[in-house]
């Protein structure tokens, strides 16, 4: 009899789980474990919303394991100490896990793998968090990609070859053989993932964390929205997006499962416009691109990829503190911005088009450093993901890979009129504007009698746009993102 530990991290699923499959293939018994060690993720330990989702996802994973004759063992970190202790207590001879790519996690896992092997344990890491490992795709010069379009061409060819080869996602095992006596587990409440003041009950009610919820969300998207995804995904009042992002972040469903099912649906239904399906898969390509960039340029979690932005003239904290607080509360007086921030607070989620609008407003109209917005999203989004968060904010701020041109400053009123023409999104999240109609819904200050319950705008949009253009003009002649940015060595994630 041989026993292996399967160390679950952000791969909280049983289907298409490479580490679990490998452990079951090479050992007669498997012990699933989860170690809570947020301090090992340095300053990007999971935020408040992420912890709430994690609590419910761990509950769902344990339920799925128990249905297969197993159970999830919970421990507190440090991770190495916990895994070594569990190996001693259970007699396990190996540890399996799926790789992640955040800088602190890569460093931790590299040291941990060496320490486990030095202790006489087999230690194996496996892929599955992305469609391609960050080191698998390179430019013709052998360097990491910094522009999305050529990256996407390479990734598109990569996944299509995999699909053509018939490499279907692996199903969840029907049974997971476990030892007769398992080591002691902490009760889930001991991890203290839920807040003491239970603000979380309303936001989490919009979701079903766990693998079952992820699969249900994907089926609903395929049935109801994929056929018109590309045409409608930018309209926040229309249920046209997949809302899979938190499920993907926590690994409740693999990106390959999503791509496989989308492509299968397209093959099965010739009436389905291939452009719609490809448009959706391309968005998963952006997710891979984000992990590719963060892995190869780890400093970007805190610093701009474009070195010219190191000296960008952001507003001083003393000058933007009040405006940042108004932005966070959704009380800027700019309806589409406020609606987005209120959606975020109420549901732990924010529609992608609105994410771009609120981010542009913060970094361009208010000249607040992008890191401030990234921190707020990190704490409030259920799908808070370091790679995606970093890419998104640097793209909007103009300082990242494939970034928006410095002169692209979203006009929130025009964006609102274009993507919420009937103001259905605004009315949902800003009930104080219900009495208005027409253009006044998008710009209440134009109404003869603006509603007193809604704040006046915190800034003049036109004046702040000119201020932003002047600030960006100071750096636009400097070299754009080039080879001078620091890059990690070619060490693989463990």
* Cα gap 209→256, rounded to integer Å: 19
> Which residue in 359, 477, 336 sits closest to 408, CA to CA?
359
Which residues, in sequence order, are bridge partners of residue 125?
Answer: 97
* Cα gap 35→126, rounded to integer Å: 18
3-state helix, strand, coil in the chain (%, to 5): 55, 5, 40
* Cα gap 152→139, rounded to integer Å: 11
Q: How large is the greatest C-alpha to C-alpha distance in the chain, in angstroms?
A: 80
* Cα gap 115→131, rounded to integer Å: 29
Tell me what the pLDDT averaged over the chain comes to. Answer: 94
Report yes or no: 398 and 309 within 8 Å, Cβ to Cβ: yes
Q: Is 181 exposed, middle or buried (0-12, 13-18, 19+ CB in 10 A)?
A: exposed
> Which residue in 338, 295, 284 sits closest to 134, CA to CA?
295
Report yes or no: 404 and 355 within 8 Å, Cβ to Cβ: no
Interval 111-130 mean pLDDT: 98
pLDDT value at residue 488: 55
Question: Which CATH number is correct for 307-473, 1.10.1050.10, 1.20.120.140, 3.50.50.60, 1.10.579.10?
Answer: 1.10.579.10
* Cα gap 343→330, rounded to integer Å: 9
In CATH, what is the architecture of 3-129? Answer: 3-Layer(aba) Sandwich (3.40)
> Which residue in 156, 219, 207 sits closest to 383, CA to CA?
207
Which run of H or of E encompasses 233? Answer: none
In the chain, where the domains are located: 3-129, 130-168+209-295, 307-473
Which run of H or of E encompasses 103? Answer: helix 103-118
pLDDT value at residue 489: 47
Neighbours of 433 (CB within 10 A): 23
pLDDT value at residue 486: 55
In CATH, what is the architecture of 130-168+209-295? Answer: Alpha Horseshoe (1.25)
Least confident of 2-6, 228-232, 434-438, 472-476: 472-476
Q: Quickly state the pLDDT bin for 491 (edges 50, 70, 90).
A: low
pLDDT value at residue 401: 87
- pLDDT tens per residue across span 247-273: 999 999 999 999 999 999 988 888 888
Least confident of 59-63, 99-103, 428-432, 478-482: 478-482
Tally of CA atoms within 13 A in the half-sphere of 154 that contains its CB: 22
pLDDT value at residue 235: 98
- Assigned token pair, 94: 């190996």
* Cα gap 382→210, rounded to integer Å: 13
Compute and round to an integer the Cα radius of gyration of the chain: 24
> Which residue in 208, 220, 198 sits closest to 246, CA to CA?
208
Bridge-based pairing of strands 3-8 and 29-36 is parallel
Lateral strand order in the sheet of 29-36: 73-76, 29-36, 3-8, 94-98, 122-126
- pLDDT tens per residue across span 417-465: 999 999 999 999 999 999 999 999 999 999 998 888 999 999 999 999 9
> Which residue in 147, 143, 140 sits closest to 289, CA to CA?
147
pLDDT value at residue 479: 52
pLDDT value at residue 482: 43
* Cα gap 340→358, rounded to integer Å: 7
């Amino acid at each position: 009899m041989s026993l292996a530990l399967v160390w679950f991290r952000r791969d909280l699923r049983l289907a298409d789980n490479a580490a679990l499959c490998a452990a079951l293939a090479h050992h007669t018994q498997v012990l699933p474990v989860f170690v809570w060690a947020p301090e090992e993720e340095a300053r990007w330990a999971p935020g408040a919303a992420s912890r709430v989702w994690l609590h419910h996802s761990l509950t769902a994973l344990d339920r799925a394991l128990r249905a297969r004759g197993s159970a999830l063992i919970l421990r507190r970190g440090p991770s190495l100490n916990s895994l070594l202790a569990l190996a001693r207590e259970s007699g396990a001879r190996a540890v399996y896990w799926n790789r992640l790519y955040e800088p602190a996690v890569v460093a931790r896992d590299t040291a941990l793998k060496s320490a486990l092997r030095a202790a006489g344990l087999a230690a194996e890491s496996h892929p599955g968090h992305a469609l391609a490992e960050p080191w698998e795709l390179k430019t013709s010069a052998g360097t990491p990609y910094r522009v999305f379009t050529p990256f996407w061409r390479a990734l598109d060819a990569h996944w299509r070859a995999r699909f053509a080869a018939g490499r279907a996602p692996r199903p969840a095992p029907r049974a997971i053989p476990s030892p007769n006596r398992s080591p002691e587990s902490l009760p889930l409440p001991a991890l203290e993932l839920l807040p003491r003041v239970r603000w979380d009950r309303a936001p989490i009610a919009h979701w079903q964390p766990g693998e079952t919820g992820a699969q249900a969300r994907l089926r609903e998207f395929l049935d109801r929205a994929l056929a018109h995804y590309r045409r409608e995904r930018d309209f926040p009042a229309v249920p046209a997006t997949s809302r899979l992002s938190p499920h993907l972040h926590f690994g409740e469903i693999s990106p390959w499962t999503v791509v496989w099912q989308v492509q299968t649906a397209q093959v099965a239904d010739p009436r389905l416009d291939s452009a719609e399906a490809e448009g959706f898969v391309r968005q998963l390509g952006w997710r891979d691109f984000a992990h590719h960039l963060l892995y190869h340029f780890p400093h970007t979690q805190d610093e701009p990829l474009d070195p010219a932005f190191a000296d960008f003239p952001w507003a001083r904290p003393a000058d933007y503190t009040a405006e940042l607080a108004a932005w966070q509360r959704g009380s800027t007086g700019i309806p589409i911005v406020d609606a987005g921030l209120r959606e975020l607070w109420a549901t732990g989620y924010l529609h992608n088009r609105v994410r771009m609008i609120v981010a542009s407003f913060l970094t361009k109209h208010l000249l607040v450093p992008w890191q401030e917005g990234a921190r707020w999203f990190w704490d409030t989004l259920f799908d808070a993901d370091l790679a995606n968060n970093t890419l998104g904010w640097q793209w909007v701020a103009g300082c990242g890979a494939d970034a928006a041109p410095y002169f692209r400053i979203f006009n929130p009123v025009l964006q609102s009129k274009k993507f919420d023409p009937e103001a259905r999104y605004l009315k949902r999240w800003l009930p104080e504007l219900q009495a208005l109609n027409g253009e006044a819904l998008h710009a209440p200050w134009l109404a003869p009698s603006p509603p007193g319950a809604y704040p006046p705008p915190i800034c003049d949009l036109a004046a702040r746009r000119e201020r932003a253009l002047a600030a960006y003009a100071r750096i636009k002649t400097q070299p754009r993102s080039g080879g001078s940015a620091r890059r990690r060595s070619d060490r693989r994630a463990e």
